[in-house]
Chain A
Amino acid sequence: MTTPALLVLEDGRTFHGEAYGAEGETFGEAVFNTGMTGYQETLTDPSYHRQVVVMTAPHIGNTGMNDEDPESRRIWVAGYVVRDPARVPSNWRSVRTLDDELRAQGVVGISGIDTRALTRHLRERGAMRVGISTVETDPARLLEKVQASSAMSGANLSEAVSTGEAYVVPAVGEKRFTVAALDLGIKDMTPQRMSERGIEVHVLPATSTLEDVLAVGDKGPDGLFYSNGPGDPAATTGQVELLQEALARDLPYFGICFGNQLFGRALGFGTYKLKYGHRGINQPVMDLTTRKVEVTAHNHGFAVDAPRDTATETPYGVATVSHVCLNDDVVEGLELRDAAGSLKSFSVQYHPEAAAGPHDAAYLFDRFVDLLEGNA
């Protein structure tokens, strides 16, 4: 016996399906993810806070859930939309089904709807608010509630997902560097990729001050890192000012995703909301320096507005666009160099930590180590 569920978009488009995961009612921004694998990492990625994720791959839950792959302490998506959930998971690491996990964490979902039609709708009309309910059966009444829910633009969400307390991820092997990492919605794989390279990572709450950053380690940090995270970069001010103070002190900086958008803002560029965002694990990105193409993991709904072909003078050095997405020319990376041309700081819009996704961009962590080395 299945429970019917209803999905209504803010423009009134309605889909009827079956309950998946917890029963109840949820609202958020409808976005689609094109990853054919990696749903466990997607669900636990804090950047999906307050978003209802539509999976374009039709079969979800095939490998069940394990205790090794979550990217944070909980599932963050506000709702989950799948076409055909697996009836029986098949993997040697699986300890429970995805359906059970969604229920245990109270995540409301819907299955058995035409996810291709829904994705096409979002591609044509753009990301928009959505509601899923197993308790409200009248589409008109659910639509009213959707239209009364809050929008993603202007939302400052990193403090809601950030760690409350600072913690340290120790370096693997010999400790070479100390880095202060601001948790704006950090994924566990990110400090791990740094620690594998001899970096002791001090993960700090999103509300940390310059004093907090400078106080990490025995002799202060060798570098500063800003993580990925949810929300609108234009609604963030404190972290932008903190980054500007750090750049003024010539502290080497590396940013991922939200950390790229805030780096852009610190350098004086604007940000804007993409129509339907980049969410998936096979996005082609070109490194404009080497002209090499990487296949990369993305999860961003906003992007930096910076000139692709010209360098920009900033109070901290010369800023350039280092990477672009080959699908739509969106800025995917920024670099800051001094007058002599040496790299001072950099960031990327995509996910070199690759959880889930291809490992093409792992070299960026090595580049950060080189940067710390040059500055030490």
Chain B
Amino acid sequence: MPKREDIKSVLVIGSGPIVIGQACEFDYSGTQACRVLKDEGLRVVLVNSNPATIMTDPEFADATYVEPITPEFVEKVIAREAERGFPIDSVLPTLGGQTALNAGIALHENGVLEKYGIEMIGANFDAIHRGENRELFNAIVAKVGGETARSYVCHSMDEVHEAVGELGFPIVVRPSFTMGGLGSGIAYDETDLLRIAGAGLSASPTTEVLIEESIIGWKEYELEVMRDKADNVVIICSIENFDPMGVHTGDSITVAPTPSTPPTAASS
């Protein structure tokens, strides 16, 4: 994909400190992004609340703001840079994990990006929304011929009970738009269900939980993939989880590249 000459400055949103659900890969990818963008001659402005990462060392960006990664503070950074005579013309929210994605989405929804004439690059709002919304995402997976666990989106406990009646226990509860599985869990019985689904509904900013068929005990395998506008695709990394489905990655080990997945399974 050729370089876009119309973009002169980029606001990179970092990931903040490393926590379960948002591990070092986002610190690494964001740092690489700063390097690559600077090499291409772009002005790089960075927001990251983590002063301990190498990413916030002065040489990685033309302007570095160690501030909370919230829509309010990021808007102040945008305004400040414009006042200083360096208006930002694009924002890259896709290399800072869920924190950066959420900040990017909020800045789009509250009109800040439009107000300052800033384009979202890496992925646009619609693409992020399709990745975040489980119903839309399941539809995309089905369209390309992939299989997903059967699931139902629920907005109330009545809807939750209806879904569980269909799928049976154990059941996975996943709230939408939360970081690293916050508020999600596996319910083995009615008591678990009331506790987890209730908490999930209140943790979700859209009062939405997904009730999903359990695949506990399956092998877990991940791919880090990059795709550009010209549809070139690179599998950056293949990852195999040491423990089966049901053990949270934060309590387990992952190995990259995959040590025990044969090519027929890996490519299908």
Contacts and interface: CB of A to CB of B under 8 A. Distances in A.
A63 interface: yes
Interface string A70-111: 000000000000000000001101000000000000000000
B260 A91 contact: yes
B260 A41 contact: no
Interface residues of B, number: 17
A292 B230 contact: yes
Q: Which of B233, B259, B261 has the most CB of A within 10 A?
A: B259
Given A292-B230, A354-B267, A358-B267, A37 B235 contact: no
Nearest to A89: B260
A358 B262 contact: no
A41 B264 CA distance: 10
Contacts of B235: 295, 358
A90 B260 contact: yes
B257 interface: yes
A35 to B, nearest CB: 8
Contact of A292 (B232, B238, B260): B232
Nearest to B2: A291
Contacts of A41: 263
B142 interface: no
A357 interface: yes
A218 B238 CA distance: 47
Contacts of B53: none
Contacts of B258: 36-37
A63 to B, nearest CB: 4
B231 interface: yes
Contact of A359 (B230, B238, B261, B267): B267
A44 B104 CA distance: 50
Contact of A356 (B230, B232, B263): B263
B253 to A, nearest CB: 15
B263 A93 contact: no
Interface in B214-268: 230-235, 238, 257-264, 266-267
A37 B263 contact: yes
Contacts of A292: 230-232
B37 to A, nearest CB: 21
Contacts of B263: 37-38, 41, 69, 281, 355-357
A354 B266 CA distance: 12
Contacts of B264: 68-69, 356
A37 B261 contact: yes
A291 B233 contact: no
Q: How large is the interface on A (under 10, 10 to 19, 20 to 34, 35 or more residues)?
A: 20 to 34
B234 A37 contact: no
Contacts of A227: none
Interface in B165-200: none
A90 B262 CA distance: 10
A63 B266 CA distance: 12
A63 B264 CA distance: 11
Contacts of B257: 36-37, 57
A103 B1 CA distance: 49
A293 interface: yes
A37 B257 CA distance: 9
Interface in A282-336: 291-293, 295
A196 to B, nearest CB: 14
B267 A63 contact: no
Contact of A93 (B238, B259, B262, B267): B262
Given A354-B267, A356-B267, A63 B232 contact: no
Contacts of A63: 260-262
B217 to A, nearest CB: 13
A59 interface: yes
Interface string A36-71: 111011000000000000000101001100101100
Nearest to B264: A69
Interface in A342-372: 354-360
Interface in B73-89: none
Contacts of B231: 292
A68 B265 CA distance: 12
Interface string A1-44: 00000000000000000000000000000000000111011000
A263 B7 CA distance: 45
Nearest to A38: B263
Contacts of A62: 259-260
Given A292-B230, A295-B234, 18 more contacts: A36-B257, A37-B258, A37-B263, A38-B263, A41-B263, A57-B257, A63-B262, A66-B262, A68-B264, A93-B262, A292-B231, A292-B232, A295-B233, A354-B267, A356-B264, A357-B263, A357-B267, A358-B267
8 contacts: A63-B262, A69-B262, A91-B262, A292-B231, A292-B232, A356-B267, A357-B267, A358-B235
Interface of A: 36-38, 40-41, 57, 59, 62-63, 66, 68-69, 90-91, 93, 281, 291-293, 295, 354-360
Interface of B: 230-235, 238, 257-264, 266-267
- Top 3 closest pairs, chain A to chain B, by CB: A356-B263, A38-B263, A62-B260
